[in-house]
Amino acid sequence: MEKLIAISESNFELLNNKLNMLIKLLEKGKGSVFDGWVTEFEAQKLLGLKTTTLWQMRKEGKIGYSKINGKTYDQLNSLQDQLKKNTVQAYH
């Protein structure tokens, strides 16, 4: 039997917006030389994190990144790995 999980409408909208942004980023990157990379701004929007938080994660070696002419690009798979690593399992 599947369990029903209830969330507020505002949290649902937030989650839906983030999923839509991720889909757009993935579609945008198909066939691109930038496959698997997002700008710092895109990473901030996607995860709802501030510049300093992403900087700290890079400094600690938690996410891979590249810097070109002062613009920072984060590896999508590093961001996804951090999400998986920090997942809190649902209580049964």
Q: Is 0.85 surpassed by the pTM of this model?
A: no
pLDDT surpasses 70 at 82? yes
Residue 3 in domain: no
Element holding 6 (H helix, E strand): none
Residue 40 CB neighbours (<10 A): 18
Residue 90 in domain: no
Residue 28 in domain: yes
Residue 91 in domain: no
In sequence order, the β-bridge partners of residue 73 are 39, 66
Query: For 25-61, how does the pLDDT look when each residue is reduced to its tens digit (9 = 90+)?
Result: 767 655 455 678 888 988 998 888 999 999 999 999 9
Which of 10 and 5 is assigned the larger pLDDT?
10
Q: How big is the chain, counted in residues? A: 92
Residue 65 in domain: yes
Number of domains in the chain: 1
pLDDT at position 23, please?
77
CATH number for the domain harbouring residue 80: 1.10.10
Residue 54 in domain: yes
* Domain around 43: 9-85
Query: For 72-81, how does the pLDDT look when each residue is reduced to its tens digit (9 = 90+)?
Result: 999 999 998 8
Distance between CA 34 and CA 30 in Å, rounded? 9
**Average pLDDT for 61-82:** 92
